[in-house]
Amino acid sequence: MKNIFSILMFLNFQYLFSQLNTYTLEECVSIALEKNISIQQSEFDLDGADIERLDAIGSFLPNINAQSQHIWNNGLSQNITNGLIENLTTQFSAFGGNLGVTLFNGKQNINQLARANLNIISRQYQLEDMKDDVSLFVANSYLQVMFNKELEEVQRYQLELAEQELERTRLRIAAGVQTQAEIYEIEANLASQEQALVQSENTTRLSLINLAQSLLITDYENFDIVDVDYSIPLSQILLEKPKKIFEKSLTLRNDIKVAATNIEIAKKDIDLAKGALLPTISAFYNYNTRISYSDRFIETGNLIETPIGVVKENGSLVISQFPERELTGPLSFTDQFRQNDGHSYGLNLNIPLFNGLSLRNNIKRRKLNLKRSEVQFEQTKLDLENTINQAYNNAEGAYKFYQASEKTLKARKEAYLIAEKQFEAGVLNSFDFIQIKQRYEIAASDNIRAKYDYIFKLKVLEFYFGIEISV
């Protein structure tokens, strides 16, 4: 009994952990925005732009550096204890520091900071533009799954009809209403419906896998979307003129904002290049000191009388007095650090006179880049206007095509219902009946395809008008 209970518990846990995880479109978009690799790379670019901004801020700050060294000298040098030239090893330490600050450099640091701030704005727009593209891609993939699922349901319904038709045909053959030859066409139609359903199921499964892969979800078996009865949305967007949609899109689209920001960046690049022609003024301060580890002579305060010569006339000695000195160790580290230090400070002025035309050519290159950015901005606006016009025409055409497919489907369904009654009455043969039924199936499939084609094209148009993507 315990074993049976354990098995039941295990199966229950297995069932719980293997349940499908269903996602709405909003959830799929949210996952994609969090995990998408291209978005992560754009975020890295934004982080890099922020580092460049910190570099620009650092150009306003002084440069402070410290140095130290310890040196050993080996070789011939004078021994201070006996005055002889000997092979000696001496050592000393040196310490120093310097401070430098730019007072004026043609406003290059100011312009560099302004450019860095503009670059951050540009990277932010690029990131948002990437998010828009990913959201639109996910919405397209999501709607593709919805389309395939609905088409699969149609195929499953058609298979059920084919099975019912086969059963009714068998009954009519048994009753003598129809001949045995009638059943073969019905059986062939049933086999064809089974094939269509299998193909439709595979298509749905592949579209689910593609959507899961775009979300970096690897558990394909337990991945699915929320099943909703999605009807044709009511939207006022087609009542707007393409020109109005374009004008509003100019204020919303991030690719337009990127192109406009790039123009401002190009202008700052020109200012930076011009600033290199102006003088640069900087201030500096240096400090250094030196520590010796060699012994030294110090005066004892006593005088030593030493003959230095003889008076020629009387032969008396000439005596001179010298201070007495004795050998002792080096001064303390602190005393030497204070006594041996030195300071220097001043201003540097650098005036660019001639640099092989490189500075002026750089200005020309930056002006050329500005013209490229301006042309690119106009091209981006032109591409956007063309895209919106095309999206508007596509959405309008898709809606008209959907309305026509609705009428076709309605007519095909009525024809099928009439044919079904005629077939049951024995007035219509199986071949003609199946032909009418297949035309009805094609109309149903075309209607679903037209429906989702219109939905996606409508969402694209709404996207350019600033309406959030949702279903």
Domain contains 214:
no
Q: Are residues 100 and 71 in the same domain?
A: yes
Q: Which residues of the chain have pLDDT under 50?
A: 1-17
Instruction: Provide the strand spans (E) within 28-150.
Output: 63-78, 85-104
Question: How far from the centroid of its chain's Cα atoms is residue 441's Cα?
Answer: 45
Q: Is residue 97 within 8 Å of 287, Cβ to Cβ?
A: yes
pLDDT in tens, 292-351: 887 777 777 788 877 777 777 777 777 787 787 777 778 888 888 888 889 999 999 999
Domain contains 283:
yes
Residue 4: predicted pLDDT: 47
Domain contains 305:
yes
Q: What single string gives the DSSP state of each residue in 8-49?
A: HHHHHHHHHHT--EEE-HHHHHHHHHHH-HHHHHHHHHHHHH
Domain contains 369:
no
Domain contains 120:
no
φ and ψ of 407, to 5 deg: -65, -40
Q: Are residues 69 and 85 in the same domain?
A: yes
Range of the domain at 318: 296-329
Q: Which residues of 142-166 are buried (b: 16+ CB within 10 A; e: fewer)?
A: bbbbbbbbbbbebbeebbebbeebe
Distance, in Å, from the CA atom of 72 to the CA atom of 81, rounded to the nearest integer, reads 19
Q: Is residue 242 within 8 Å of 389, Cβ to Cβ?
A: yes
Domain count for the chain: 2
Q: Are residues 100 and 68 in the same domain?
A: yes
Give the CB-side neighbour count of residue 450, counting CA atoms within 13 A.
20
CATH number at residue 76: 2.20.200.10
Domain contains 433:
no
Residue 281: predicted pLDDT: 95
Domain contains 184:
no
Distance, in Å, from the CA atom of 291 to the CA atom of 92, rounded to the nearest integer, reads 5
Residue 428: predicted pLDDT: 83
Distance, in Å, from the CA atom of 349 to the CA atom of 103, rounded to the nearest integer, reads 10
φ and ψ of 354, to 5 deg: -155, 125
Q: Are residues 72 and 92 in the same domain?
A: yes
Distance, in Å, from the CA atom of 24 to the CA atom of 43, rounded to the nearest integer, reads 25
Q: 3-state DSSP call for residue 311?
A: coil
Residues 6+ apart with CB under 8 A from 27: none
Which two structure tokens, joined as six digits, stand for 113?
A: 């900071």
Domain contains 89:
yes
Q: Are residues 307 and 336 in the same domain?
A: no
Q: Are residues 319 and 340 in the same domain?
A: no
The closest alpha carbon to 154, from 435, 438, 418, 441, belongs to: 441
